[in-house]
Amino acid sequence: MSDVVTLSNRNGVAVVTLQNPPVNGLGFAVRTGLEAALRAATDDDTVQALVITGDGKMFSGGADIREFGQPPPDGTPPLPMLIDTIEASDKPVIAAIHGVALGGGCEVALGCHVRLATPDARVGLPEVTLGILPGAGGTQRMPRLVGIPAALDLIVNGKLVPAKKALALGIIDDIVEGDIVDAAVAHARRMVSENLPIRRASALDDKVVEARGTPEVFDDFRKTMARRARGFEAPFACVDCVEAAVNLPFAEGIVTERARFRELVASDQSKAQRHAFFAERQVTKIPDVPKSTPTLSLDTAAVIGCGTMGGGIAMNFANAGIPVTVFEVSQEALDKGLDVIRKNYAATVSKRRLSQNEMDQRLSLISTTVDYADLATVDVVVEAVFEDMALKKEVFGKLDTACKPGAILATNTSTLDVDEIAAATNRPDKVIGTHFFSPANVMKLMENVRGEQSSPETIATIMKLSKAIGKVGVLVGVCDGFVGNRMLYAYRRQSDFLLEEGALPAQIDKVIYDFGMPMGPYAMGDLAGLDVGWRIRQQQAATRPPHLRYSTVADHVCELGRFGQKTGAGWFRYEEGSRTPIPDPIVDELILKISQENGFTRREVGDQEILERCMYPLVNEGAKILEEGLAQRASDIDVIWMYGYGFPRFRGGPMFWADLVGVQTIYDTMSRLHDEHGDWLEPAPLLKRIAEQGKGFRDL
């Protein structure tokens, strides 16, 4: 038929097979091929029924996202039209689903008259995660099959459901063991021989009629998602379309869906979310560590130090089914650390997100020791002791002696030189940084810090480890703060300067929150605790270059014993048992006093200035990092910021956002700010270069 869609005739049943690896994406060529196959099967009088299936790993992963925004070659049929053709067929059409049927793939299946799936298949409409909505009938057919509450949950949350649940919901008609295509062909024959009626999803209406005249169902749903979906356009458009399915005839609902789809697909939000999708897949690609690089086994692990980070890291191993030995300085420290782990699991059990059985199972994978000798056979060690170079070196020296020669020794340091730590061992090639983010059992990001001597095998193994424990591992180089925190410092520094110049914490936090970050820098500081940074700044005081501007505001806040939520007060104050930041006149007055003492005439600082002063230096620092080769690509930085700091996905990460704003605009503003405020704001040479070339970070 075509290269990407084949047609065979099995004694009167036409089998149409999508053959477009890796995900049978429904790109231009596939749609053209599918149209031809459908026409041939329809025109062939010997064909009495059709089966649609996918070759390889899955039925179909949906529309080809790469083609969005590109004009289709002349004559390419739109997907909705193809699905209408399938549904309108007088000959029964059966979808034979294995692997996944997602997005447009799921919509093709919904257009079929019967859907059969293998036991391990999954179906869903994840379009919302790409900033769009199901645009090939999914918002109209799905509610007619499963009813409104389930359809909202599936479409607005982009949930994938396993076959069993899909059957219970009514998305699929049966689960079959054995060869799915054989089963579908047999089913098709039965439909023909028994003259069974054809059921078209678009013609069903009992489930949508049920919800007609109850707009509160949708209003309530919008309220429940308001916080979760803050700033995103697509989830709300999804709700509108499901509501249209209830209130409008199918043909009109489809028009609404189409219009909203077109609007979203052209939006910056969707471009950003599509960028995020591909960026996440790019991070695993390391030019000098090809996929073929051998990796070491990761059957057992150890964690050194069971404090805030070590405990969370140990949970990650246990959650992934990897036995982990936790090492501490004393039994008392172990008991304390284990107690926190237990409480963490218990909280998840009480929220019904984990069964007691699973909790027990996970805890049984965590063993404890105070003896290095017990670490002799582990495959990988993650060190998470205090942030102190001398201590880290001592620990690595001991690990080097105690662990088998093949073991990888990783450090969770957040600021120290991984190469210096590696030099304390006789296996610097097997030393690497694994920078987890707090809380380590929750946050998905791992900055994997390659040392000068980390071997390709070590890097590949640690990237594999990230995946095995459900994290997003991004490879970075050694520098102060690595990629994420180094950029964070650039942004935090400016926000403190703005306090001196005229802004207050609540104002800055509101601008950053409204931009889409989960919280502003001051609420975040209060959550994380202010004392650690204060201690580090005190240590660095002697080496701080005197000509560079330094804000003492944060130090003064700490001097008042205000370390954030844990002391009930920091940049904000907190009522007993509450995490809601309340602006505190004490801090505001303190800021005013510091401004005066340091000779600033306070001025009105506008919201746009706050955004530019905080976010442009962040981007600028990202440009320096790229130039220094400490991140592999701009999109890796985006992944770090989305997963480590909650940078809004609908903006695609700071570097993608910079392209949307325009690198030229950012460069011009940085140049002006540099003139006005000095050294810290000097535009990065790379920023200048790409601005002059009229390019963006995407072009690097």
For the annotated catalytic residues, the residue numbers are 107, 127
Q: Supply the minimum distance, in Å, between the C-beta of residue 203 and ligand NAI.
A: 56
Give the full edge-to-edge strand order of the sheet including 366-369. 366-369, 324-327, 301-304, 380-383, 408-411, 431-436, 445-450, 472-477
Indicate the residue among 409 and 465 with the shorter CB distance to ligand 3HC. 465
Q: Supply the minimum distance, in Å, between the C-beta of residue 189 and ligand 3HC.
A: 30
Residue 307 binding target from ligand NAI, ligand 3HC, none, CB below 5 to 8 Å by type: ligand NAI
Indicate the residue among 104 and 310 with the shorter CB distance to ligand 3HC. 104
Task: Kindly give the pairing relationship between strand 93-97 and strand 122-124.
Answer: unpaired
Residue 150 phi, psi dihedral angles, 5° rounding: -65, -40
Residues in 534-573 that interact with ligand NAI by CB under 6 A: none
Residue 135 binding target from ligand 3HC, ligand NAI, none, CB below 5 to 8 Å by type: ligand 3HC
Indicate the residue among 331 and 364 with the shorter CB distance to ligand NAI. 331
**Which amino acid is located at 573 in the chain?**
R
Q: How far apart are CA 192 and CA 184, in angstroms?
A: 12
Q: Build a one-symbol-per-residue string for 430-469: x at contacts with ligand NAI by CB under 6 A, - elsewhere.
A: ------x-x-------------------------------
Stretch that binds ligand 3HC, among 103-111, 338-346, 399-407, 602-610 (CB under 6 A): 103-111
Count interface residues toward ligand NAI (CB under 6 A).
Answer: 23
Instruction: Find the binder of ligand NAI among 129, 270, 325, 414 (CB under 6 A).
Output: 414
Q: Supply the minimum distance, in Å, between the C-beta of residue 490 and ligand NAI.
A: 18
Instruction: Find the binder of ligand NAI among 111, 305, 433, 654 (CB under 6 A).
Output: 305
Indicate the residue among 89 and 316 with the shorter CB distance to ligand NAI. 316
Residue 432: alpha-carbon gap to chain centroid: 24
Residue 537: alpha-carbon gap to chain centroid: 32
Residue with tokens 């052209």: 266
Q: How far apart are CA 5 and CA 11, in angstroms?
A: 19
| Cβ-contact 326, 384 below 8 angstroms | no
The helices-and-strands tally (H runs, E runs) of the chain is 29, 19
Contacts of 323 (CB under 8 A, 6+ apart): 299, 300, 301, 317, 365, 366, 367
The reply to whether 327 sits near ligand NAI by the rule CB under 6 A is: yes
The reply to whether 395 sits near ligand NAI by the rule CB under 6 A is: yes
Per-residue burial over 305-341, b if 16 or more Cβ lie within 10 Å, else e, is bbebbbbbbbbbbbbbebebbbbbeeeebbeebbebb
**C-alpha triplet 151, 38, 168: angle, nearest 5°:** 25
Instruction: Find the binder of ligand 3HC among 228, 262, 281, 404 (CB under 6 A).
Output: 281
Closest among 515, 255, 228 to 240, alpha carbons compared: 255
Stretch that binds ligand NAI, among 221-229, 380-388, 417-425, 636-644 (CB under 6 A): 380-388
Stretch that binds ligand 3HC, among 95-103, 237-245, 562-570, 686-694 (CB under 6 A): 95-103
Q: How far apart are CA 583 and CA 570, in angstroms?
A: 10
Q: Supply the minimum distance, in Å, between the C-beta of residue 532 and ligand NAI.
A: 7
Residue nearest to ligand NAI (CB): 307
The reply to whether 143 sits near ligand 3HC by the rule CB under 6 A is: no
Residues in 37-76 that interact with ligand 3HC by CB under 6 A: 61-66
Q: How far apart are CA 62 and CA 30, in angstroms?
A: 11
Indicate the residue among 388 and 589 with the shorter CB distance to ligand NAI. 388
The reply to whether 400 sits near ligand NAI by the rule CB under 6 A is: no
Q: How far apart are CA 36 and CA 6, in angstroms?
A: 10
C-alpha distance across the termini of the chain, in Å: 40
Residue 178 phi, psi dihedral angles, 5° rounding: 80, -165
Q: How far apart are CA 464 and CA 352, in angstroms?
A: 30
Stretch that binds ligand NAI, among 25-33, 64-72, 78-86, 299-307 (CB under 6 A): 299-307
The reply to whether 23 sits near ligand 3HC by the rule CB under 6 A is: yes
Stretch that binds ligand 3HC, among 36-44, 101-109, 482-490, 601-609 (CB under 6 A): 101-109
Q: Supply the minimum distance, in Å, between the C-beta of residue 70 and ligand 3HC.
A: 12
| Cβ-contact 339, 368 below 8 angstroms | no
Residue 219, number of CB atoms within 10 A of its CB: 11
| Cβ-contact 126, 102 below 8 angstroms | yes
Indicate the residue among 305 and 502 with the shorter CB distance to ligand NAI. 305
Instruction: Find the binder of ligand 3HC among 92, 103, 337, 617 (CB under 6 A).
Output: 103
Q: How far apart are CA 148 and CA 206, in angstroms?
A: 11
Element housing 349 (H / E): helix 331-350
162: phi > 0 → left, psi -120 to 50 → alpha, else beta; which? Answer: beta
Indicate the residue among 104 and 337 with the shorter CB distance to ligand NAI. 337
Residues in 307-326 that interact with ligand NAI by CB under 6 A: 307-310
Residue 603, number of CB atoms within 10 A of its CB: 11
Q: Supply the minimum distance, in Å, between the C-beta of residue 420 and ligand NAI.
A: 13
99: phi > 0 → left, psi -120 to 50 → alpha, else beta; which? Answer: left
Q: Supply the minimum distance, in Å, between the C-beta of residue 98 and ligand 3HC.
A: 12
Count interface residues toward ligand 3HC (CB under 6 A).
Answer: 24
Residue 413 binding target from ligand 3HC, ligand NAI, none, CB below 5 to 8 Å by type: ligand NAI
Instruction: Find the binder of ligand 3HC among 131, 134, 235, 570 (CB under 6 A).
Output: 134
| Cβ-contact 60, 101 below 8 angstroms | yes
Instruction: Find the binder of ligand 3HC among 7, 95, 97, 127 (CB under 6 A).
Output: 127
Instruction: Find the binder of ligand 3HC among 52, 83, 130, 666 (CB under 6 A).
Output: 130
Residue 190 binding target from ligand 3HC, ligand NAI, none, CB below 5 to 8 Å by type: none
Provide the β-strand partners of residue 306.
none
Two structure tokens written together for 320:
């992934």
Stretch that binds ligand 3HC, among 100-108, 329-337, 412-420, 496-504 (CB under 6 A): 100-108
Stretch that binds ligand NAI, among 62-70, 96-104, 147-155, 406-414 (CB under 6 A): 406-414
Element housing 49 (H / E): strand 49-54
Catalog residues that contact ligand NAI under the rule CB under 6 A: 304-310, 327-329, 333, 337, 384-387, 391, 395, 412-414, 436, 438
Binding stretches for ligand 3HC (CB under 6 A): 22-23, 25, 61-66, 79, 100, 102-104, 107, 126-127, 130, 134-136, 138, 278, 281
